[in-house]
Amino acid sequence: MQKRVLGQHLEVSALGLGCMGMSFFYGQPQDTTKMTKLLRTAVDHGVTFFDTAEVYGPFTNEELIGRALAPVRDQVVIATKFGIRHGEDGPTPMSGVDSRPEQIRRVTEAALKRLRTESIDLLYQHRVDPDVPIEDVAGTVRELITEGKVKHFGLSEASATTIRRAHAVQPVTALQSEYSLWMREHESDIIPTLEELGIGLVPFSPLGKGFLTGTIDSTTPLADNDLRRMLPRFSPEARQANQVLVDLLQRIADDKGATPAQIALAWVLAQKPWFVPIPGTTKPHRLEENLGALDVELTAGDLRRIEEAAADIRIQGERVPEQLRSRFGR
């Protein structure tokens, strides 16, 4: 397995595994026995980087990761998150943000128990809290690092200004934000800031929440409890309009003897050596497919071809609903 380094010192597999969908977001939670087997299979294939969060479930995803990876804990890097409140009402259990220092400590202590570990390898602020200065957040995580309960500090969907302010208090190892061929908003200021400061990028949804795999079109039904139904980019009209991007990936894939998903992941991997995408899956054959992206070599000519074609494609539909948009890029 190829390795990459996040920040200055955190070495992980070049491709991680996003675990959210095993317990949350994409319809019914998956069978825990099957997911445990999938997680251990990932380890057997050399994956060392696993991503979870308190809110995934809530709680159940961390519990799954803790149980499944306990026997191989010394071989893996586990990332989890604080900062999103959760409840059971409404279309999503996410009901606001909370990064008060006392809340960060409560969440961390609970996560340590659920993950069955003495220290969290990478602790992210899940979303920026406008009511808590980022310096207070970074300072609290710095204290947790000093106490040995956390090893590395991360942010998610933060602005360049917030990243700089946090990094000045406690070095940020990684920023986790959405990034893929259909979400490139961070290229103007976020990615240059990360490069300047020596911070890694962990792209979530590098496969566009499944759309870039080529297995979803405008007629594909989504379950009533699949939260993609609330995303404007997953309306039937947007999916139909955005099919042109999948068609591009398919053409490149045909030339390379690969799949659209593998080309989409290979493209992300080719952007910077300090990008570590975390595609999620609940299916063993998709895990194998995703890992196959590491063997796909995109030449400079391939990358130019993708870039030139993508420049003519205007992605339709916002990636998040209007009411959630204020939580991104603070």
- Of the residues 26, 56, 124, 179, which is catalytic? 56
Candidates 73, 61, 55, 59; CA nearest to 32 is 61
Residue 26 annotated as catalytic:
no
DSSP alpha helix (H) spans, the chain: 32-44, 60-69, 101-114, 134-146, 160-169, 190-197, 236-256, 260-271, 284-291, 300-310
42: left (phi over 0), alpha (psi -120 to 50) or beta: alpha
Candidates 72, 25, 51, 39; CA nearest to 284 is 39
Residue 155: which residues within 8 A CB-CB, separation 6 or more? 124, 125, 128, 162, 163, 166, 172, 174, 175, 176
The catalytic site residues sit at 56
